[in-house]
Structure 1
Amino acid sequence: MDISNNEKPVSDRLLIGECVVVLSSREVHVPGARRLRRLTPKSIGVLLVLVRKAGQVVTRDELFAEVWPDTMPTNDVLTQAVTHLRKAFTSGESGIDGAAYIETIAKTGYRLLAPVSWEGQGSIPAGRSPLSETALVHGAQAGATHAADVPRRSIRRRLRRQVLIAVGLALLASTVVMFWLLWTAPAVADPDVVNTRGTRVVGSPERPYRLITSTAAFETSPALSPDGSLVVFAKEEEGLSSLWIQSTGNTAAAPLVAPPAQASDRFPAWSPDGREIAFARFHPGDMCEVLLVSATGGSARRVARCDGTEMLSFDWSPDGRSLLFGSMTGSQASRGIRVLDLVSGRWSSLRYETGNDDFDYAPRYSPDGKRIGFVRNPQVGDLWVMDADGRNARRVTEDAAEIRGWSWLGATELVFGRRVDSESRLYRLDVTTGLLRDLGVDDADSPSVSRQGRSLAFKRDHPRYALFRFPLGEQGGKPQRLFASSGRDGQPMVSPDGKRLAFTSNRSGTFALWWGRLDDPDSLQVIEGFRPEARQPMDWSADGHSLLVAGRDGEGMPGIYEVTPEEGHWKKLPVPVHEPLQAIYGSQPGSVLVLERDNDDRMRLTLFDRRQQPWRRLASMEGVSQVRLDRAGDRVLFTRLAHAGLWQVGPTLAQSSIRLLSTEAPTRWRYRTWAVTGTGKVHYLHIAPDCASQLTAIEQPDRSLCLDARRYGSRNGLSMAPDGSAVYVALAIADGTDIGLMPVAERVPWPSLGAAKWLPWLKKPLS
């Protein structure tokens, strides 16, 4: 680094947020951490450059020039240094999150957000030059012998002692008050014995929610009125959808508005004053419109056309004068978030940073109108939050997960549904602190929170999926159920020789990878030691000896695992990417194609040569959501984040070899329900008007077959027999959805004070 040695040293101890960095020994002291963290010299170099411009954006080029002068490092070197810094500043015990200290500025660089000062000095002035390592060591020696520091340390110790005494007295008083309240409070049943009393069985423990619908139809897309007294939902029957309304009590539902013949009404949204409901109406073909109707019913009026739109999303503004729309396709195409003025009918685009491949879905204003939340790239997405004017956009989840609906809970918290293993669960997230909590409701998604009340409505599923083999061709035949169980089976992937099947299942009580020989049901075995991902399909090697599986370890960290099923062994591969999501074997020996999300939140497909250590990058392309290899046609097939359809590219990922195969199939929602045979034919599983599971040849759309008219196929993977004689799919053998309702407790402020939990007058509303 080009650092002057003539500047007077400041100190050897650098205070960053709640952490202390001792520069001479490269140690990081984090409150509550069980062990000392030590930084590498390059990490220290990056930290000092960020400290010099604390609060300012430092570009990658600046960091390369100062920390790696006269060299040509890759982006991975800098990414690893920043990751090392974030891990050093992280402490789960004290709640410190290293990612909140150093912010990634997409496609630019990094910014140090935590307050910075040298011990014994004030805050660092902006633009001050960092010290050299020699100067820092000399500073440590000088600081250790400086007489003026002695009285300062003595004052700090006395002040610290007084603060600790005050905190101790406060905790003692809190404990006394809490004990008194518990002593005088009425007895509460022990949750472990809530269903028994003495020698008698009383009943089942109470669920945290209740179901307010229980019909044979599929109830979806619940929307709570602002006061939480009414709920509107879509009822799906025989391939069509209509809107119904009912109170949140046990009254029967009534139709809100009758759609025309062969039309479907979906996606209801209440106005802030509770007087109107916006919804989308889909007509046969591509015709689509957004309508408003009174909450008491009656005729609806159109406010916008949405012809040809896929993944439509919208919500009301807090003042009720406009609708906020997510990215749109079709005749009203828009890459980003837009606002529709309901009086003038004019559209205005929100100015904020978005990439060419980004699709922003389900935007919603916070109740106070100061923020907008949305899901970016919902296929493998995360939740984002930004100011209402588009500034300060930031990601608030980091799972690249399948987000299944979300809603604001006050001005600083979110509730969202997320697919986990074989189910979807509800989570509560504080966007200020990053604290994430499971709400304890399984098989739930599409949450809706009332604006004024503390009620939460959601859709609850109770499906069971089983594996089937459907014969194809002119002779056809009856479908065959495979490896029957009472669990949820999915992602069936047949081996290249057509004799073995790998799949995921929770049949043993935990979600795991299974495999077995198709001619021997008793050969079924589980592969333990890691948890497979349900988002992306696994991939067999050409010889059928091994599998590449995306999964997570015991700490939830993503990785790519190579499994040898016959031996029951697996190993985690050293894939040199930020967050691997899928991997398949390449067409050449030693080559692997990896789908990743990089440190700048971009989805990228990269071709690696794994015979070199570390793996060598050969080529890359961005914006890919899923990939498979057609060995017969010597081509790579893939779907994109920002577009529906299917593409192909040559095995070396040469840009000149990219070709569009289909403009409509697969859709964004069903980007995983396609497969390729050993002869190169591509098939797509989708829903047709009169068929729940329709199989269509993408490159020959006139060749289509209804596998099952009533049972729906899983959206997370299927496979074709190598010779194209059969398809292996997971079908719902038991299914149904209902609307659930539960109260949501307010967030209690000042969690460190026990009295706040028990004294109602100390509670504060979310703001």
Structure 2
Amino acid sequence: MRWQIEQFVFCDHKLTLINGQETQQLEPMVGELLKFFCQHHSDIITRDQLIAGVWQGRVITDNAVNRVVTKLRKVFADDAKKPKFIATYPKKGYKFIASVTAISEEHLDESVDALKAIEDNIPDNNLSNTNSPEIRSLKHISQQRRQLLIVSAILAFVMLFMTVWLGQSVWQPAEKSAEIFTQSKALTRNPGRESQPHVSPDGNYLMFTEFLSGKIHLRIKSLVDGSQISVEHGAENWVGPGDWNKTGDKLVYLTTTKDSCQYYLRDFVDMTLGEPKLIHNCPAGSFGKIIFTHDDDLLVFSEASFRGEPFTLFSLRLSTGEKRKLNQPELVLGGNSQYDLHPVENKLLLSSPDKQQWEGFYSLDLTTDQLTLLFKQDAFICCGIWDHTGERVVLLGEHPAYEFVSYDLTGEDREVVYSGNQQVSPPMRHSNGIDYLFGSGFSNQNIKLLSLDNGKSQLVAESSVDERLARFSQSGDSIIYLSVASGHEEIWFYDLEQKTTRQISHFNDARHYVDLHWSPDESFVVALSLNEIHIIDFTTGLAKVVKMPQREITGLSLKDNRTLAFSIKVGENWQVHHYDLASETLKPIDAKWQFVRYQAEQDDIIWQDKDGQYYVGEAQIMLDDEYLSTINFIERRHFNIQKVGSQFLYQEFNEGKYQLTSYDINSKERVVVSANDSSYFNRNKQSILLSEAVRSNADIFKTIASN
């Protein structure tokens, strides 16, 4: 069905929107929403009606509805405050207020024939007067629709010619754009968070990982009868991810403990596993992955020299045991841990960040070892794979990712491959050569306030989506934090005394922050992205970017209202720098210091030199403490240790949780405070802000190709 919407023509089958000479391909859920609006354009539609009609009654959040409505508004450049297309009726719903007319296919075909008769000078008494109302009506027909019909006729003739010439019943074009999927179905319904799916070459078995009860499990499920087995290596081992060989009778996988890292090979026949064969010992603390190439004797795997170091790519020849380092991009951040084998050719697609924190996509020829940069993007994206043709790249959409998209090999021609109502994990190709596999589910982390006086906790920021990076104000009577409750990552404020919440920023974009700070005078917020520092005015919510080159930045704090402190790499070493907000100048301090965490109390300032030795206070007094020197100062770009008086608070990941521990430098006493679901915490003298997962689940889904 086609619809005339003001000056636009909308095809609800192909989900295209034509305006003049421009044709826009709509995202699947956006197109379905527009179709529903067209079918009910005279009605006020409630959220429940939208969920029933557009999402077929699936359980979704208000945030998911808001996000798709916002995207549709952007398609029409519609202002929510002065709408011309979608009007919001508070506490009632939405109404599509634009002019909508269904285009009759039969009438349109007759009209095109009539216009063609005019152009071909075919005598027709009814068409002799070009100023008649009938002819004027015909001239109102969309020029784009007419061109589409002509092109369709030409294509039909070409298809007929090719059928006769080649003796084929159907002509298949040599190239086509990416398949667009509007539906999916669940392949797993386990209680944990499932991800990293791989379907066997015959399509009968699904291998995936499940994070459950603080441990990673490798599962294999029969897609024929639903039976399921686990790949076990003892109670202490985390197992997975894994991969199938090209015939589906072998699998390789990773197993790890706190003190070991190993890759194994096993036979697989009809849900029965052979004995495990150890093929490689990787460094303890390395958590990589391993895949087969098109040659079952040659594997590719990644490993880090120790925990927290970037990953390096290697190949392993099973018959000889030869391990060889592959040609690869320079190691930055996590290094080269994301890679995918081409569907038919002997090459890899690598996803790797550069020094500016742009994500680069590279092709590595495994035969010649030639590395080629395809394209880069300045975005918080992840994990590119080849599409089924090997001529495009498929990857997650921007944060928070509810879709995956594809690009040509130059990074152009963006197309949405799939869009859902829950966040998705990186996709994988299905062995059927058409569909994609992915994990999708929900995660809901709230922020709790833990009292150090009585040990009681209370929720201070909660919704159906994640809240994170909470930080106290200088006075301690309020907090700021990040939430995606509006559909995008925004900064929010919570008054601890009045118990009121309000949104500070209105970025309405795909930005992603990894650290958050409040100025001592509480007039502005400092936020760290992947490669920039942003200053957000607390009153207006407006943001500006600190003027310095894009690069990896870590260990951010504020020395005072005028001075930022953070670490950037000079050569191969981290070095503390100060940035003056007034003069907009960046200066390194003494090269001895790699990190510093400034605090309001000068005695609580923590320094770390290039040898990992800790110092405290403005006077930089060295701490001679063997235990403290074993604790990581930095975790995921932000500080992992905070000092208050004689106590040092820090976190360590243990049994699937971040274990918050208090260590007294005088008594040497260690006390476990709590187990948390995030590496981020913030303490003042009386309380601690922590993250708590209320619920978290993800299942494996398969796209459903349209027939």
Quote the residue 1:428 is aligned against.
Answer: 406
SS class of match (2:425): strand
Once residues 353 and 386 of structure 1 are traced to their aligned partners in structure 2, the CA distance between those partners, rounded to angstroms, is 10
Is 2:234 the counterpart of 1:234?
no
Conservation of the 8 A alpha-carbon contact between 1:504 and 1:512: yes
Counterpart among 587, 606, 611 of residue 559 in structure 2: 587
Residues 672-693 of structure 1: CA deviation (Å, up to 9, x unaligned): 583525558654445423x734
- How far does residue 647 in structure 1 lie from its aligned partner after superposition? 7.9
1:125-140 equivalence runs, <5 A: none
Quote the residue 1:718 is aligned against.
Answer: 681
- How far does residue 562 in structure 1 lie from its aligned partner after superposition? 2.6
Is 2:419 the counterpart of 1:440?
yes
Quote the residue 1:615 is aligned against.
Answer: 585
Conservation of the 8 A alpha-carbon contact between 1:610 and 1:616: no
- How far does residue 618 in structure 1 lie from its aligned partner after superposition? 4.2
Paired letter, 2:299: L
Quote the residue 1:459 is aligned against.
Answer: 439
Quote the residue 2:640 is aligned against.
Answer: 674
Is 2:362 the counterpart of 1:385?
yes
Quote the residue 1:707 is aligned against.
Answer: 674
Conservation of the 8 A alpha-carbon contact between 1:376 and 1:384: yes
Counterpart among 448, 455, 459 of residue 468 in structure 1: 448
- How far does residue 733 in structure 1 lie from its aligned partner after superposition? 0.7
1:9-24 equivalence runs, <5 A: none
Once residues 478 and 469 of structure 1 are traced to their aligned partners in structure 2, the CA distance between those partners, rounded to angstroms, is 8
**Structure 1 residues 695 and 406, CA, compared in 2 at 3 Å: closer, same or farther?**
farther
**Structure 1 residues 258 and 551, CA, compared in 2 at 3 Å: closer, same or farther?**
closer
Is 2:237 the counterpart of 1:263?
yes
Residues 380-407 of structure 1: CA deviation (Å, up to 9, x unaligned): 6724313324434426342353636856
Q: How many residues align?
A: 528
Conservation of the 8 A alpha-carbon contact between 1:378 and 1:403: no
Conservation of the 8 A alpha-carbon contact between 2:445 and 2:693: yes
Counterpart among 695, 699, 702 of residue 734 in structure 1: 695
Counterpart among 363, 378, 399 of residue 378 in structure 2: 399
Is 2:422 the counterpart of 1:449?
no
Structure 1 residue ranges without an equivalent (≥5): 1-31, 34-168, 182-205, 553-557, 746-759, 761-767
Quote the residue 2:544 is aligned against.
Answer: 572
Once residues 340 and 322 of structure 1 are traced to their aligned partners in structure 2, the CA distance between those partners, rounded to angstroms, is 6
- How far does residue 286 in structure 1 lie from its aligned partner after superposition? 0.8
- How far does residue 213 in structure 1 lie from its aligned partner after superposition? 1.3
SS class of match (1:469): strand
Once residues 603 and 455 of structure 1 are traced to their aligned partners in structure 2, the CA distance between those partners, rounded to angstroms, is 44
- How far does residue 539 in structure 1 lie from its aligned partner after superposition? 1.2
**Structure 1 residues 370 and 630, CA, compared in 2 at 3 Å: closer, same or farther?**
farther
Once residues 489 and 430 of structure 1 are traced to their aligned partners in structure 2, the CA distance between those partners, rounded to angstroms, is 35
- How far does residue 342 in structure 1 lie from its aligned partner after superposition? 1.0
1:605-644 equivalence runs, <5 A: 606-612=577-583, 615-618=585-588, 628-630=597-599, 632=602
Quote the residue 1:694 is aligned against.
Answer: 659
Quote the residue 1:293 is aligned against.
Answer: 266
Quote the residue 2:250 is aligned against.
Answer: 276
Q: What is the TM-score when the length of structure 2 is the normalising length?
A: 0.63
Is 2:455 the counterpart of 1:477?
yes
**Structure 1 residues 466 and 353, CA, compared in 2 at 3 Å: closer, same or farther?**
closer
Once residues 178 and 664 of structure 1 are traced to their aligned partners in structure 2, the CA distance between those partners, rounded to angstroms, is 67
Paired letter, 1:713: D
Conservation of the 8 A alpha-carbon contact between 1:371 and 1:385: no
Once residues 420 and 455 of structure 1 are traced to their aligned partners in structure 2, the CA distance between those partners, rounded to angstroms, is 23
SS class of match (2:153): helix
SS class of match (1:295): strand
Residues 79-107 of structure 1: CA deviation (Å, up to 9, x unaligned): xxxxxxxxxxxxxxxxxxxxxxxxxxxxx
Once residues 639 and 172 of structure 1 are traced to their aligned partners in structure 2, the CA distance between those partners, rounded to angstroms, is 71
Residues 364-423 of structure 1: CA deviation (Å, up to 9, x unaligned): 3323344322333599672431332443442634235363685664423333346614x5
1:6-155 equivalence runs, <5 A: none
Paired letter, 2:491: L
SS class of match (2:542): strand
Paired letter, 2:559: S
Is 2:280 the counterpart of 1:317?
no
- How far does residue 514 in structure 1 lie from its aligned partner after superposition? 0.7
Quote the residue 1:375 is aligned against.
Answer: 351
**Structure 1 residues 436 and 596, CA, compared in 2 at 3 Å: closer, same or farther?**
farther
**Structure 1 residues 437 and 378, CA, compared in 2 at 3 Å: closer, same or farther?**
farther
1:356-375 equivalence runs, <5 A: 359-375=335-351
- How far does residue 594 in structure 1 lie from its aligned partner after superposition? 5.7
Conservation of the 8 A alpha-carbon contact between 2:293 and 2:346: no
**Structure 1 residues 720 and 325, CA, compared in 2 at 3 Å: closer, same or farther?**
same
Once residues 718 and 341 of structure 1 are traced to their aligned partners in structure 2, the CA distance between those partners, rounded to angstroms, is 45
Residues 241-265 of structure 1: CA deviation (Å, up to 9, x unaligned): 432222446x424115333233231
Once residues 184 and 593 of structure 2 are traced to their aligned partners in structure 1, the CA distance between those partners, rounded to angstroms, is 40
Conservation of the 8 A alpha-carbon contact between 1:243 and 1:266: yes
Counterpart among 507, 512, 526 of residue 548 in structure 1: 526
Once residues 307 and 674 of structure 2 are traced to their aligned partners in structure 1, the CA distance between those partners, rounded to angstroms, is 33
Aligned Cα root-mean-square deviation (Å): 4.8
Conservation of the 8 A alpha-carbon contact between 1:532 and 1:549: no
Paired letter, 1:478: K
**Structure 1 residues 577 and 698, CA, compared in 2 at 3 Å: closer, same or farther?**
farther
Paired letter, 1:401: F
- How far does residue 478 in structure 1 lie from its aligned partner after superposition? 1.7
Once residues 310 and 363 of structure 2 are traced to their aligned partners in structure 1, the CA distance between those partners, rounded to angstroms, is 19
Conservation of the 8 A alpha-carbon contact between 2:244 and 2:251: yes
Once residues 208 and 640 of structure 2 are traced to their aligned partners in structure 1, the CA distance between those partners, rounded to angstroms, is 31
- How far does residue 503 in structure 1 lie from its aligned partner after superposition? 0.8
Conservation of the 8 A alpha-carbon contact between 1:418 and 1:445: no
Once residues 477 and 261 of structure 1 are traced to their aligned partners in structure 2, the CA distance between those partners, rounded to angstroms, is 33
Quote the residue 1:343 is aligned against.
Answer: 319
SS class of match (1:266): strand
Once residues 447 and 582 of structure 2 are traced to their aligned partners in structure 1, the CA distance between those partners, rounded to angstroms, is 36
Sequence identity percentage: 14
Once residues 449 and 408 of structure 2 are traced to their aligned partners in structure 1, the CA distance between those partners, rounded to angstroms, is 45
Paired letter, 1:367: P
Conservation of the 8 A alpha-carbon contact between 1:382 and 1:395: no
Quote the residue 2:82 is aligned against.
Answer: none
Quote the residue 2:78 is aligned against.
Answer: none
Once residues 488 and 518 of structure 1 are traced to their aligned partners in structure 2, the CA distance between those partners, rounded to angstroms, is 19
Quote the residue 1:413 is aligned against.
Answer: 392
Quote the residue 1:499 is aligned against.
Answer: 477
Paired letter, 1:696: T
Paired letter, 2:236: Q
Conservation of the 8 A alpha-carbon contact between 1:428 and 1:437: yes
Residues 490-547 of structure 1: CA deviation (Å, up to 9, x unaligned): 2111112211100111334443211122111125343325658443111112333321
Counterpart among 494, 511, 521 of residue 499 in structure 2: 521
**Structure 1 residues 400 and 257, CA, compared in 2 at 3 Å: closer, same or farther?**
same
Quote the residue 1:214 is aligned against.
Answer: 189
SS class of match (1:261): coil
- How far does residue 266 in structure 1 lie from its aligned partner after superposition? 1.3
Once residues 571 and 212 of structure 1 are traced to their aligned partners in structure 2, the CA distance between those partners, rounded to angstroms, is 43
Quote the residue 2:164 is aligned against.
Answer: none
Quote the residue 1:97 is aligned against.
Answer: none
**Structure 1 residues 602 and 664, CA, compared in 2 at 3 Å: closer, same or farther?**
closer
Counterpart among 224, 227, 237 of residue 199 in structure 2: 224
